[in-house]
Structure 1
């Protein structure tokens, strides 16, 4: 296994992590910004509002895209194991 293969595997790993974690992180960030704006306008400074909304969003994303996420992770794992058998 040369450094080119290792670099490709690591690049693919970072791509899979971004693909799987990106939607949850972006939606949580948007929810946090919207809640912060709402709290600034109404002067309601309750910490649990933002936390509960973020948890609901993450659970919703996992319910909607969980199958796709699992398939993506399985495909990457199979690819890595196939590369391991070639060594």
Structure 2
């Protein structure tokens, strides 16, 4: 039988995993965007599309480097949920 405590634990664990995964993907893009914005402010280049390519490349690099960890974390969580479900049912 699933109790509210078990459900709250699963939701908390899922939100923590999603937060870590999003932070790994978004933070490098934010930092690169900040550096490009500082460069644009210093050189007074006001091109809107200039920051897109470096942010895209940073995000793709992070996906390439951390992809195995991201997928592994998601698989570990799914396996954990399925094991818990099996013990709750029978």
Contact 1:27 1:57 in 2 (8 A): yes
Higher alpha-carbon Rg: 2
For 2:54 and 2:85, locate their aligned partners in 1 and report how far apart those are by CA, in whole Å.
42
For 1:23 and 1:68, locate their aligned partners in 2 and report how far apart those are by CA, in whole Å.
10
SS of residue paired to 1:45: coil
Match of 1:71 in 2: 72
Q: Which segment drifts farther, 77-86 or 53-62?
A: 77-86
Match of 1:19 in 2: 20
For 1:42 and 1:24, locate their aligned partners in 2 and report how far apart those are by CA, in whole Å.
28
Match of 2:54 in 1: 53
Shift of 1:32: 1.2
SS of residue paired to 1:12: helix
Q: How far does the alpha carbon of each residue in 1:28-56 deviate from its partner, in whole angstroms, 9 at most, with x for none?
A: 11111111111111111112221111110
Match of 1:10 in 2: 11
For 2:65 and 2:49, locate their aligned partners in 1 and report how far apart those are by CA, in whole Å.
24
Contact 1:39 1:45 in 2 (8 A): yes
Contact 1:24 1:57 in 2 (8 A): no
Shift of 1:75: 0.3
- Structure 1: give runs of 5+ residues left out of the alignment: none
